[in-house]
A and B are shown apart, each in its own frame.
Chain A
Amino acid sequence: MSITFVVEVADKPGVLNRVSSLVRRRGYNIESLTVGHAGTPGVSRITLVMEANPDAAARIEANLYKLVHVQRVINVSDLPTVYRHLALIKVAASAESRSQVMQLVDVFRARVVDVAPDSLIIEITGADEKIDGLLEILRPFGVLEVAKTGCLAMVRGASVRPASSATPGGSSADPVDAAVSFSV
């Protein structure tokens, strides 16, 4: 099954290399890895999606914690979580087909961010399936280029403390105080 970790790491040179090296040498199967600044200065936030059973997930979490620069690991897979991908899609669009494409973009709540005489760039965020859905619909017009980010994940509601309860044989854990919230 697909497991998603949010990993907060010290914003130090090479930290992404340390995380990816760990994943590589332990033979884990990565689906997606994104990294960027977190809200706190000096902290980077990695969203790591991988194929693993819950047992292996707990070990991956424990192994991540062994990296000195890793500050916090949250397995969000079982928490109410918002997942988002971002894609830019360049699609062929002549004067004739342009309005048709733009209607479809509206249906998907995507946006046109660039208009050229014979093409459009569309920006779409959402779950991976939604992006794939739009791509499928646009394909007949001629998809010229696609750029996708990996997955970003954030737990709904109030902030979450480290979910160390998932650690195998783990330390006494703080309960995860994810407040109940509603999808909008």
Chain B
Amino acid sequence: MRLTGAEILWNCLVREGVTDVFGYPGGAILPAYDAMLKYPIRHVLVRHEQGATHMADGYARASGKVGVAVATSGPGATNMVTGIATAMLDSSPIVCITGQVGSRLIGSDAFQETDITGITLPVTKHNYLVTRADEVAETVREAFLVAQSGRPGPVLIDITKDAQQSSAEFDWDAAAPSPASGGRHPHPREADMRQAIELIRSARRPLVLAGHGLMLANATEALRNFVDATGVPVAVTLLGIGCLPASHPLNLGMMGMHGEAWVNTAIQEADLLIALGMRFDDRVTGNLKNYAPNARKIHVDIDPAEIGKNVPVDVGITADLREAIEAWLPAIERLDLGDWLGRIDALKGDSAVRDIQKLPDDGHLYAAHVINDLWRATNGQAVVVTDVGQHQMWEAQYYHHDQPRTLITSGGLGTMGFALPAAIGAKMARPDAEVWAIAGDGGFQMTLCELATIQQERLKVNIAIINNGYLGMVRQWQEFFYERRYAATPLLSPDFVKLADAYGIQAQRVTARRDVVPAVEAARAHNGATLLDFRVEQEDSVYPMVPAGADLHKMIRRPSPLAETGADRS
């Protein structure tokens, strides 16, 4: 069958199972857009190409499928870079397709020419420049294999205009990628597996550190079986939230810079850490020199380059997590951990009295209350997509996720502006799910143009702005570490209710705690998107906090008895 390169592109995408793409047309990608009309593809017109990549990312994280973003050459392509880097750091499988100037013009500084394969080389898992129609099929097929295999990641395909326009024989089967392109399937060494089991069996104070990899490997059920069989408690990373139900009695909660105090202390006191699909990022370890000094360490990850990268380990296992955990199950049994679990419970007691939830309604609206009320009002069932900053940490602390893939957040890159577009992608992937975007007043303004996308596509994505008039997390650092010199963190914002109205989106301002639940319920009941502008305490801080580079157990704690925020003190 003879088709144009553009037709081959869509033909391959449809065969790869793609039904939705996020994009923005332009000169160099016009042939592809023209051909798209002949294929069963829903195209979401974004307002900025960064949004397209975050949408593809949110789509991938919510569904486990590959997300696809499309843009033209030059500025269209460069606008994608932040979204691609976001997907790279969080191992999210997306395929970005960019138009390129005609192959004869490459290197001539032609109109809207940019070397996007060069630019994205360090932030893609792999990328391609396609200059001929007969290369399109094999490239697309290999790109989908690479994006999903092993440790997933973003792949970019740059296709010249003439490759889209000219014709070639299309043979799907002949274009099958070599399995080697997906990397080698790891087979753990038996000796390592045996040693891991021995360490687990003999541990007295073991702790599982559970990360995003468990979800990427569809290993959440295996994890649960392991935890139920052994009784080993679990600490989760930010991206690991949801891999074990928050309501599971052995799920201790989040670790790290803003992790629960008892979790961080437990890590420091543990005699065995079983790290599964996490990468000992500096935000979870604190000072590496004094990190978990008493613990032997088992590290299981699909990516061998992660083993021993930050933390030296006693047993490193490169494996598919589900296969590895399932291989352990027959050899392990319930451990006697009464003392250890008792110790952790005692640690919790101290934190409970410092919990902001204990604070009675004194007229102040605290972000933590908003998040917790949102959790209650949505029965904990929503897919929540956050931006980056204080509200992100409060979400992680106070929205208790029982399902995998229901917290979608930019962890590794920490990309402000992620929430709104990624929530659109999540809603497209899971149209029946209740989707909430939570963003600060800063991050929301980075990509708020996508409000128009929500309306054009008639999507019901609810938006909660945690509005404190500051770039809150930066302000918190200034309060703690820069003697409250608030350089460039006070933030003027438009009237978000009026703004939403201009986009035709229902909106409401909330300033008191008693109004939170009714507002959330009204948003849920409304047959369309709703924006809620929560005017929260301006100078509240996220506790506990491990200062960057400090020992993990040396946390700044919420003042107890619960008292003041910055506003109270002044």
Contact = CB atoms under 8 A, between A and B. Distances in A.
Interface of A: 13-14, 17-18, 21, 25, 55, 58-59, 62-63, 65-68, 71, 167-172
B61 interface: no
B414 interface: no
A21 B117 CA distance: 12
Give the interface residue-count category, chain B: 35 or more
B188 A171 contact: yes
Nearest to B181: A68
Interface string B278-308: 0000000000000000000001010111011
Q: Specify which of A25, A71, A168 lies most central, judged by the most chain B CB atoms within 10 Å of its CB.
A: A168
Given A21-B122, A170-B318, A171-B318, A59 B186 contact: no
Dominant SS at the A interface?
Answer: mixed
Given A21-B121, A171-B184, A66 B305 contact: yes
Contact of A14 (B117, B142, B301, B318): B117
Contact of B317 (A65, A67, A68, A169): A169
Given A18-B121, A68-B126, A171-B188, 10 more contacts: A14-B117, A14-B129, A21-B122, A62-B307, A65-B184, A65-B304, A66-B305, A68-B146, A169-B188, A171-B318
Nearest to B190: A172
22 contacts: A13-B129, A17-B118, A17-B121, A21-B122, A25-B122, A55-B308, A58-B308, A59-B307, A59-B308, A65-B183, A65-B184, A66-B151, A66-B183, A66-B303, A167-B318, A168-B304, A168-B307, A169-B192, A169-B313, A170-B304, A171-B187, A172-B189
Interface of B: 117-118, 121-122, 125-126, 129, 142, 146, 150-151, 180-181, 183-184, 186-190, 192, 299, 301, 303-305, 307-309, 312-313, 315-318
A168 B126 contact: no
Dominant SS at the B interface?
Answer: mixed
Given A14-B117, A59-B309, A68-B146, A172 B299 contact: no
B479 to A, nearest CB: 33
Nearest to B155: A68
Contacts of B146: 68
B189 A170 contact: yes
A71 B364 CA distance: 61
A17 B305 CA distance: 20
Q: Specify which of B122, B190, B304 lies most central, judged by the most chain A CB atoms within 10 Å of its CB.
A: B304
